[in-house]
Amino acid sequence: MRRTTTPLKFGLTLVLLVSLVLLALAGITRYTVGEPLLPDWLAKAVHHRQPSLPPGMTYDFSIIDPATNHPLATLPEVGNVELRLAVTNDSALPMTMRFRTGQQCEFIVRQALYVVDGLFAVPIEKWRSSYFHVVSQKPTTLVLQPGQTKVYTALFTLNALNADQMAPGEYRVVAVVDAYSTGRWETSIPMEKPL
């Protein structure tokens, strides 16, 4: 028996599919610009816990020039860039974070490619601190005493060999901490690479 469809059913199905595609593109755009996939109000409505550092932990994420030790406002055309994430226990009790692997922090550089006149953004990964590094698959633990800070660093080199891969434009420099207690928590800094 052949199933028939009415114009109303077809129209509603089409509207639903277009809405799902737009929601997916909005989620990708939020991810590209460094925001959680779900807005806070929606995450609370569906009881989804947003990844965050444990209460009492603070962080400082900075992008600095290793030669001068000063923060960078833009990415250089060539040169070194030091990415630094400092996680501090500001509580009165020791804090323990358990990690799935030996990699406790990872840095990622993504180019934000805007489409449809800037309405949507697509992330294009350009560099990752774990590239060409062997990471232990054994779980690790970080214990921070009150007032203690753990600093993670990575050196990102822009040279003539990769200058064409790092075109001028808008980038997001991301620091990721993937612990059992935080989930995949990340923070990012927008950076421009001038012409």
Residue 107: how many CB atoms within 10 A of its CB? 24
Q: Are 139 and 99 in contact (CB under 8 A)?
A: yes
Angle at CA of residue 182, ends 180 and 81, nearest 5°: 110
Specify burial of residue 140 (Cβ count, 10 A radius: 0-12, 13-18, 19+).
middle
Instruction: Reduce the DSSP state of residue 108 to 3 states and report it.
Output: strand
Q: Is the pTM of this model over 0.85?
A: no
Taking only the tens place, the pLDDT of each residue in 28-47 is 777 777 666 666 677 677 76
Query: What pLDDT, on a 0 to 100 scale, did the predictor assign at position 40?
Result: 67
pLDDT, average across residues 123-132: 88
Query: What pLDDT, on a 0 to 100 scale, did the predictor assign at position 50?
Result: 61
Q: Are 148 and 57 in contact (CB under 8 A)?
A: no
- Measured over the CA atoms of residue 123, residue 128, residue 134 and residue 136, the dihedral's sign is negative
In b/e form, how buried is each residue of 173-187, taking b as 16+ CB within 10 angstroms? bbbbbbbebbeebbe
Query: What pLDDT, on a 0 to 100 scale, did the predictor assign at position 116?
Result: 72
Spans of all domains in the chain: 7-43, 51-193
Taking only the tens place, the pLDDT of each residue in 1-36 is 677 778 888 899 999 999 888 878 877 777 777 666
Q: Which residues pair with 34 in a beta bridge?
A: none
For domain 51-193, give the CATH superfamily: Intracellular proteinase inhibitor BsuPI (2.60.40.2360)
